[in-house]
Amino acid sequence: MSVDTKTAEAAGERRRLDSNEFRDIIGRFASGVTVITVEHEEQPYGTTASAVCSLSLEPPMLLVCLNKSSSTGQAIAAARRFAVNILGEGQADAAMCFAGKGDKFAGQRIVRGVAGQPLLGDALANLECRVVEEVSGGTHTVFLGEVEEATGGHGAPLAYFRGQFGRLELKQDDEAHHDIRARVHSRELPVGDRSASTRSPRSWESPAARPTTRSPSSAARGSSRAPPTAGSS
């Protein structure tokens, strides 16, 4: 640390991190992508969010961060319920849709949850929550929800990294690919023979999982309308 920096800090003049710098740095944290949905006074609301985190196992709880200006967040505050829809790797279009404005539910397969909340029927998983606490933090509201119902399907999640959609690529998948390719080149495995494939099953708890920023659809590639880290619509 330079003498000048120490002097500035001692004088109480430490430079404050601006929002653009923070956005750039925090964007290096890879996450999944969700759509938060709620219905209030017979009107459905939804927004894309990656600022979602599990909080407790007993009771099962999670938290969701939404901008205070978000109409979805305002509806959740009134309804005291919401649903978290975890998107699969092929749902970048849905993420883009719910990150924007207009009729977000048009063209989506919607099913009703146990408590009547709208759920995305094609999502990788759905969690229905009851708001137990609401906390304000800066520009956002943090909703703490107790998970009352949860269902999940098979597949890979949609990932979000540095403003782009992508997919998780597991180490064992990559190793299996290289193994099969080497065997084909050495003629140990005939081209087109899938019976001898050694591809490993996916395990999403693997510490070897790593994100890639290959967008799964043209809607995500090169787009400046990637979803926010916390829902704003």
d(CA 87, CA 145): 19
Confidence of residue 7 (pLDDT cuts 50, 70, 90): low
173 pLDDT band (50/70/90 cuts)? Answer: low
Q: Where are the alpha helices (DSSP H) in the chain?
A: 3-10, 19-26, 71-79, 92-99, 171-185
**What's the burial of 138, exposed, middle or buried (CB within 10 Å: 0-12/13-18/19+)?**
exposed
What are the structure tokens assigned to 22, written together? 């923070």
Which residues make beta-bridge pairs with 47? 36
Q: Give the residue ranges of DSSP H helices in 60-209.
A: 71-79, 92-99, 171-185
Percent share of the chain, pLDDT over 90: 56
Reported as a pLDDT band with limits 50, 70 and 90, residue 15 is confident
Q: Looking at 42-46, 163-167, 218-222, which range is the least confident one? A: 218-222
Buried-exposed string 80-100: b where 16+ CB fall within 10 A, e elsewhere: ebbbbbbbbbebbbbbbbbbe
What integer pLDDT is reported at residue 11 of this predicted model? 53
Q: What is the reported pLDDT for 191? A: 57
CA distances from 188 to 111, 124, 177, 183, 198 (A): 49, 37, 14, 5, 13
**Residue 81: closest CA among 52, 53, 118:** 118
Residues 233, 220: Cα–Cα separation, whole Å: 18
Parse the chain into domains and list their residue ranges: 21-170+210-233, 171-208
What kind of fold does domain 21-170+210-233 have according to CATH? Pnp Oxidase; Chain A (2.30.110)
Q: What is the pLDDT of residues 29-87, one digit of tens each?
A: 889 999 999 999 999 999 999 999 999 999 999 999 999 999 999 999 999 999 999 99
Q: Using alpha carbons, list the distances in angstroms from residue 217 to 26, 75, 117.
A: 24, 31, 28
Cβ pair 209, 170 in contact under 8 A:
yes
